[in-house]
Amino acid sequence: MPLATSTYTPPPLLDGGHRQTLYASLVRRVAFSYDRRERLATPDDDFLDLDWSEAPGADAQRVAVLTHGLEGSARRGYMRGMARAFVRRGWDVCALNLRGCSGAPNRRVATYHSGKTDDLALVVDHVLAQGYTTLALVGFSLGGNLTLKYLGERGPQVDDRIRGAVALSAPIDLSAAATQIDRWANWHYTQYFLRSLRQKMRTKARQHPSRVSARHLRRIHSLRGFDDAYTAPLHGFDGAEDYYRRASSKPLLPDLAVPTLLLNAANDPFLPPSCYPHPLARRHEPLTLEVPTSGGHVGFVSFNADGEYWSESRTTSFLAPS
């Protein structure tokens, strides 16, 4: 499909990638609450917490499954803003909290990672079992990579009730993205993530002292270092590079078989050039690549009476065009 020409124009004084990223993360407030939480048991005796919102007034036949980014949750503003946009348009929403991200530590030593699509598959199967005729997938950042990898793994065999997907600010080349985010200019983001990740590993060390040690945490100052010391070995990978290679969605993009929008801003401070697959998008019909000149990482800030960000309007229009 031809590359999409973006219509996004940033507000005055918010055209920079860092400004967009920080404003959306730290300043935005979303007046929206989920209706209920469901705890879904996993086959390995763990659990996933799902936050549901239902469209008022009718039994919706359409549902959107949302997946957050690294150390996020369904409570993050970008998740609640997207959920609100779908509910306004008559969709039900299931917002997935990845393992350990719902406010309650998960039980197993493994948590989540950028390529752990079996949990997403479990949620999709569970949601479809509720009787929906149309399901859309939306993923942010790490969740965007997960979404694309899930669809690529299934290729033409994907359930025909899955009608489309949107991945926003997705690091489809994980090794290059890890190098990018570990640059000095992104130091403050890296430290933000590491504070949360270190705390979770301390919890894991108390839960599973024979499997996890916290003694290395103080020596880790990069996400690549954390992935090499913890993410990779706890999830069966042979170091960070093996994890990045096997978990990246980019090699699977040619196998996408449902209409999919990859929305990566040109000034995203987390994404290297390899996360903008222009040649593939030109020749692979299911994939639409849209690269707004601005937007930052999960930003795309807009000011309007509805409180809806441009990315939310763009996502819903792509998945349910009028």
Among 294, 297, 302, 313, the one annotated catalytic: 297
Give the residue among 144, 181, 176, 152 at the shortest CA–CA distance from 263. 144
Return the structure tokens found at 222: 């990069």
Give yes or no: 68 in active site. no
Cβ count near 247 (within 10 Å): 23
Q: Would you call 216 a catalytic residue per the annotation?
A: no
Helix (H) or strand (E) holding 288: strand 287-290
| CA-wise closest residue to 73 among 105, 101, 100 | 101
* 3-state SS class at 93: strand
3-state secondary structure of 8: coil
196 catalytic per annotation: no
Are 148 and 167 within 8 A, CB to CB?
Answer: yes
Q: In whole angstroms, what is the distance from residue 134 CA to residue 62 CA?
A: 5
Number of other CB atoms surrounding residue 12 within 10 Å: 7
CB 115 within 8 A of CB 145: yes
Catalytic residue among 268, 294, 302, 313: 268
Which of 6, 53, 102, 141 is flagged as catalytic?
A: 141
- For 89, 285, 314, the CA distances from 321, given in Å and listed in that order, are 11, 17, 10
For residue 307, how many other CB atoms are within 10 A of its CB?
16
Three-class HEC string of 67-121:
ECCCCCCCCCHHHHHHHHHHHHCCCEEEEEECCCCCCCCCCCCCCCCCCCHHHHH
As given in the structure block, the two tokens for residue 161 are 């009730």
Q: Which of 192, 136, 184 is nearest to 163 (CA)?
A: 136
Active site amino acids: 141, 268, 297
